[in-house]
A and B are shown apart, each in its own frame.
Chain A
Amino acid sequence: MRRAEADRKPAISPLHDPRWRSVAYQAVLCVIILALFYGAIDNAAQNLQKARIAYGFDFWNHPAGFEISQTLIDYSTASTYGRAFWVGLLNTLLVASLGIVFATIIGFVVGIARLSRNVLVARLAGSYVEIVRNLPLLLQLLFWYNAVLKALPEVADSLVFPGGTLLNNRGLFLPQPIAGESLSLVPLTFVVGLLGAIAFRHWAKRRQESTGRQAPVASVALVLIVGLPLVVFLLSGMPVDFAYPEMGRFNIRGGIEVLPEFMALLFGLSIYTAAFIAEAVRAGIQAVSHGQTEAAYSLGLRPGQTLRRVVIPQAMRVIVPPLTNQYLNLTKNSSLAVAIGYPDLVQIFAGTVLNQTGQAVEVIAITMAVYLAISLVTSLLMNLYNARITLVER
């Protein structure tokens, strides 16, 4: 009887129902925000039209007419502004993704070194972090760029490395591998080896769970993934030719060219961001209480196992959120490329294309949307990873 009374909904009008009211408020807010956006866009379009400034996105298919020093896809002066946009975007993604890899590696090494019992190593790592973290990134980029340009020899006196690699102040020139006919076997065996390694790991894990016996997963995987393709490569008679860089009238021709602007930017971004990552790593490791290590030792785990199985999984929970921030920062900071002439999205699209077309509003809007999208995708991936490593709470 009492239950039935409690279950019956009180008869109140939707006007006073808090749920309806909050939905209504939010709907009104959304409409207002959308109206504001629409108003701003419409107003801008009208004003641009009134001021006789070109507007809209027609420029996307017009020929660009300028050269770009680094293009990952086919591009010439006859290509369109749209094509130039993709060139710039790919250049940004290239430097950002490589920067993230290097910054993570350096950051983890330095972060762990800061906790080293060796005083010299710990102090060195500490001063690296303090110096790099406290200088403006733009200054560091200019420093690295000028250091690269000044320290390296002129193009005529290139440093020659064994294997045909050349280094000078125009960049690093590597021999370019040209695939022979039977080379396709190598990636095939690589895939086979990879699948084999995954299967072996699965089998080893099941066997350890049931019998307690361990298998040398790492070395078997290494043989399958690296050794197998290598053997196939050698057996098929090394079907690779190299196009070696050679000195032309002014410049090095042929080979793979790595621009000094790219090297300086990658170097600067990695080193700068690594300092912040190192701090996150140090904090993460220190956040795991020492009792955990002691408990692992008393269970008979070796130091390496303790680190891998006990400390790092718990430290990662603390490390990953700030790590995500640093990845986002690195990607956004790559736009400082504009200062040292690396053709990234901002330099090409928000720079030259904006200037040639004069369509500042459209170009900047697209550029902002792109950075927003890159950042959101990065955080999405990192959040998925974070969810996977979160401590399972019971």
Chain B
Amino acid sequence: MKRVIFTLSLLTLAIGAATSPAFAQTLNTVKQRGVLNCGANGILAGFGLPDAQGNWTGFDVDYCRAIAAAIFNDPSKVKFVPLSAKDRFTALQSGEVDVLARNTTWTSSRDTSLGLQFTAINYYDGQGFLVRKSLKVNSALELNDAAVCVQQGTTNELNTADFFRSNRMKLKTVTFATANETLKAYDAGRCDAFTTDASALYAERLRTTNPNDHVVLPEIISKEPFAVVVRHGDDQWFDIVKWVHFVLINAEELAITKANVDQQLKSDNPEIRRLLGVEGNQGEAFGLTNDFAVRIIKHVGNYGEIFERNLGMETPLKITRGLNALWTKGGLQYAPPVR
């Protein structure tokens, strides 16, 4: 199925059926279609994973739901397209999906040569290593000559090579096309270490046969800023997706939650009134309705709620906010004001 999508994407790219006019009008296209096509992970707990009933959950998934809520006032109007790391950009380039929310690292070359735009960093991550406890390794710097299982088409593949090269260590990588195959090979003993983004490392550890036999090493070897990605050349769509994130951050900062958003509509605070569209016509400037922020918060909550629901201490992943705390609380999450 993925292969079919990929081939079709390639075909449309080559023939150029999906030319710029279609690209430029993403919002209208989505409205006409009545559903948002969202490129998602599909096999990563916490970020994008369908359950047995086909209900998708995850941090990235909630971003797509937030965009759908802003447009349709209905977070269920999303069609999730599971994409492998390798195929994700081609699917977005060709118009197969409208947004790519798939724990995707923002890098300069991806920004410049893929014809894509990274909207805003919604998760600050870094790459780490998972090893067997029996190896008695305490640091990634002791991994000289180790075999490392890594997923193909990720920044992880390149970071691992860089890390070993800069520390003058010998490396044997074994690369696989999907995260499942990569983890399975590590679990079977093909590699000494498994590497991916730290956020995923905890989720993947839980999927090994005996999670207690494995330990995450303390080093974080790279910067992995995740962002939701859109196609180049549609500024309106770029603004919408970017500001859905800023609305989520601002809402947390102003303590507007899923539960209290209706009461907050009566607030006297001008910042809250502008964000929720009680004053001004910010929403219409985006091509949406003025209450688009209310719709988002009512359906998916603010940034903190999304984080806690999918990744936080109440989930099996137990990831702390860390760098992803608000700037007011010592983290890096910061949003421009609504004005």
Contacts and interface: CB of A to CB of B under 8 A. Distances in A.
B177 interface: yes
Contact of A351 (B13, B14, B160, B177): B177
A47 B158 CA distance: 29
Given A66-B158, A77-B165, A50 B174 contact: no
Contact of A358 (B89, B147, B162): B89
A158 to B, nearest CB: 12
A130 interface: no
Interface residues of A, number: 48
Interface residues of B, number: 52
Interface in B140-162: 143-147, 152-153, 157-158, 160-162
A260 B19 CA distance: 45
B189 interface: yes
A51 B110 CA distance: 14
A60 to B, nearest CB: 14
B239 to A, nearest CB: 17
Nearest to A68: B173
Contact of A251 (B181, B192, B231): B192
A269 B281 CA distance: 64
Interface in A23-80: 40, 43-44, 46-48, 50-54, 65-69, 77
A340 B190 CA distance: 12
Interface string A320-332: 0000000000000
A222 interface: no
A65 B185 CA distance: 23
A184 B177 CA distance: 44
B157 A352 contact: yes
Contacts of A69: 172-175
A343 B231 CA distance: 31
A346 B23 CA distance: 30
B1 interface: no
A250 B136 CA distance: 11
B233 A339 contact: no
A51 B15 contact: no
Describe A's contact surface by its main secondary structure. helix
A174 B160 CA distance: 28
Contacts, number: 146
Contacts of A250: 135, 143, 145-147, 192
Nearest to B187: A149
Interface in B85-141: 85-86, 89-90, 93, 109-110, 112-115, 135
B226 to A, nearest CB: 17
Contacts of B86: 351-352, 354-355
Contacts of B221: none
B15 A43 contact: yes
A162 to B, nearest CB: 25
A338 interface: yes
Task: Give the most central of A40, A54, A67, A249: most B CB within 10 Å.
Answer: A67
A302 to B, nearest CB: 53
A347 interface: yes
Nearest to B137: A250
A69 B165 CA distance: 15
A32 B23 CA distance: 30
9 contacts: A46-B16, A66-B161, A68-B173, A149-B185, A248-B145, A250-B143, A251-B192, A339-B177, A355-B86
Given A50-B19, A341-B174, 5 more contacts: A40-B15, A66-B158, A77-B165, A149-B185, A251-B172
Interface of B: 9-10, 13-16, 19-20, 23, 85-86, 89-90, 93, 109-110, 112-115, 135, 143-147, 152-153, 157-158, 160-162, 164-165, 171-177, 181, 184-185, 188-190, 192, 231-233
